[in-house]
């Protein structure tokens, strides 16, 4: 059975997306998540996951981090961003982190249905922006755990606090942080935080 994840913190909008999904893929099994953590859990547990519908501005997400994290968890699963952010400003960025499409929350039901159908078919929305953002490419190369550690750094958390948040030893966090610094080609946590601006920390949507 085809499974589609709807990740949005607004129950009524999740319900509306469910209606759109049923119009396009009536046999699909819909899984809902109201936070980024729940979305990650759903991705880890879902079978035959065919599509992720993702809002950018969810609890636990910073900028484009939700796209980056879910893509790292399931790189073969297409991500369609459905957000209130400006498409022209956001799509070129979320595409660098793995999204294949973008539709605004102000779109009509028929447009959302068409975007879902295209995403299920594997169609990738074209973007005019050149794919030359080296920092974004480096951030996108991080593993899910490395991304979580980096998000902890962005939130101002110390290694001990990140270890508690992620349920791992502080030494393990330090090892992941070393790997993050190496992949981002930076020398310290401050530089890593600055590099991670590629995640669009100023974005809302």
Per-residue three-class SS string for 55-84 = CCCCCCCCCCHHHHHHHHHCCCCCEEEEEC
Residues 17 and 96 in one domain: yes
**pLDDT given for residue 173 in this prediction:** 93
Six-digit token string for 76: 């073969």
Residues 68 and 153 in one domain: no
**pLDDT given for residue 20 in this prediction:** 95
Six-digit token string for 102: 């973008």
CB environment 72-102: b (16+ within 10 A), e (fewer): bbbeebbbbbbbebebeebbbbbbbbbbbbb
CATH number of the domain enclosing 184:
1.10.10.10
**pLDDT given for residue 97 in this prediction:** 83
Residues 100 and 142 in one domain: no
Residues 85 and 17 in one domain: yes
**pLDDT given for residue 22 in this prediction:** 95
Residues 11 and 88 in one domain: yes
d(CA 105, CA 167): 35
Q: Please state, as a whole number, how many other Cβ atoms lie within 10 Å of the Cβ of residue 109.
A: 12
DSSP letter (8 states) at residue 148 = H
Strand partners, 32: 6
Residues 44 and 80 in one domain: yes
Query: What domain range includes position 158?
Result: 134-199
DSSP string, 32-47: EESSHHHHHHHHHH-S
Number of domains in the chain: 2
CATH number of the domain enclosing 63:
3.40.50.2300
**pLDDT given for residue 177 in this prediction:** 92
Per-residue pLDDT of the chain (205 residues; tens, 9 = 90+): 789 999 999 999 999 999 999 999 999 999 999 999 899 999 988 888 999 999 988 888 877 888 888 998 999 999 999 988 777 677 877 888 889 999 988 899 999 999 999 999 988 887 655 555 577 778 878 888 998 898 888 888 899 999 999 999 999 999 999 999 998 888 888 888 887 776 665 433 4
Are 95 and 66 in contact by the 8 Å Cβ rule? The answer is no
User: Last residue of a domain, which of 93, 120, 147?
Assistant: 120
């Amino acid at each position: 059975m085809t499974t589609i994840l709807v990740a949005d913190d607004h129950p009524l909008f999740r319900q509306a997306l469910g209606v759109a999904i049923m119009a396009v893929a009536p046999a699909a099994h819909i899984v809902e998540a109201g936070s980024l953590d729940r979305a990650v859990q759903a991705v880890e547990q879902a079978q035959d996951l065919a599509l992720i519908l993702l809002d950018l501005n969810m609890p636990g997400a910073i900028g484009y981090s939700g796209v980056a994290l879910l893509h790292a968890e399931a790189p073969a699963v297409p991500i369609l961003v459905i957000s209130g952010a400006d498409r022209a400003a956001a799509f070129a960025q979320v595409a660098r982190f793995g999204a294949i499409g973008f539709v605004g929350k102000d779109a009509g039901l028929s447009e959302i249905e068409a975007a879902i159908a295209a995403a299920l078919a594997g169609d990738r929305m074209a973007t005019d922006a050149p794919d030359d953002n080296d920092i974004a490419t480096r951030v996108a190369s991080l593993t899910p755990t490395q991304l979580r550690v980096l998000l902890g750094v962005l939130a101002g958390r110390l290694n001990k606090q990140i270890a508690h948040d992620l349920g791992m030893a502080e030494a393990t966090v330090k090892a992941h942080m070393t790997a993050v610094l190496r992949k981002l080609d930076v020398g310290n946590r401050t530089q890593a935080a600055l590099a991670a601006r590629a995640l669009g920390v100023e974005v809302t949507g």
